[in-house]
Amino acid sequence: MSILTLKDGNTLYYKDWGTGQPIVFSHGWPLTADAWDAQMLFLGQQGYRVIAHDRRGNGRSSQPWDGNEMDTYADDLAELFEALDLKDAVMVGHSTGGGEVARYLGRHGTKRVSKAVLIGAVPPLMLKTEKNPGGLPLSVFDGLRASLVADRSQFYKDLTLPFYGYNRPGAKISEGVRDSFWLQGMLGSHKSEYDTIKAFSETDFTEDLKKIDIPTLVLHGDDDQIVPIGAAGLLSAKIVKGATLKVYPGFPHGMCTTHADEINADLLAFIKG
């Protein structure tokens, strides 16, 4: 197991496979690096070095009481970049991980990064406000917190249905995928996963997105029931200078798993391009 001890004494678990140009993956909530297995195997087989960490509070990393917010997540990732001396890296973030990528680039710049990909990502802001009328009301996120507290295990099982679009007519449901999601969620810290709801829903990434000065690909499914495309991918693609947007008709939030072949092909084309 690869473990990085952070400056504050906490530890970060990460996978580091293969050789070549590094591709660094940031996972969604409440998952782990394992959520990227389909992408890491494929891109590793194409000759890239693929790296993914378990965010603090998740999976096999430390479970501190504090620090479950975007600045700390981004700074933890920066420590991993420095420890591995990564250069010319491609950053790929899904959902909450897309927020982590945006905040990293906003706080630490692009000196170590050549390209970025935001997939079903939470930026610029999920919460509905006067300036962000297309966002989701606070009651939605309060409901997530209440469900998490009431029965975390059942909540994660139930969440797989909208996450992967398994609640749509004719959907081909994989109980294995549902079990994997549940396991990844249950490995994490109850406190961290509770706190992260605030982090992914209330953090405004607009200024971070404005600072991105590298080629950026924004991928979003138009049937994303977790991070609706209107206040997310469509807006991010307008804010990031020169960003490329690709919308997938009918694809769900968890499309990196349910439609791995399509996502993998588009990632490879962008990285090579």
Buried b / exposed e over 235-267, threshold 16 CB at 10 Å, is bbbebbeebebeebeebbbbbbbbbeeebbebb
Catalytic residue among 61, 62, 95, 180: 95
Strands 216-221, 244-248: pairing is parallel
Return the closest-CA partner of residue 226 out of 263, 258, 201.
201
CA distance 15 to 253: 23
CA distance 75 to 88: 18
CA distance 38 to 98: 18
Q: Which two tokens stand for residue 83?
A: 């420890």
Q: Which two tokens stand for residue 34?
A: 């394992």
Indicate if 224 belongs to the active site. yes
Looking up tokens 């991105």 gives 212
φ, ψ of residue 172 to 5 degrees: the values are -90, 105
CA distance 182 to 19: 31
Catalytic residue among 61, 62, 224, 236: 224
The set of catalytic residues is 95, 224, 253
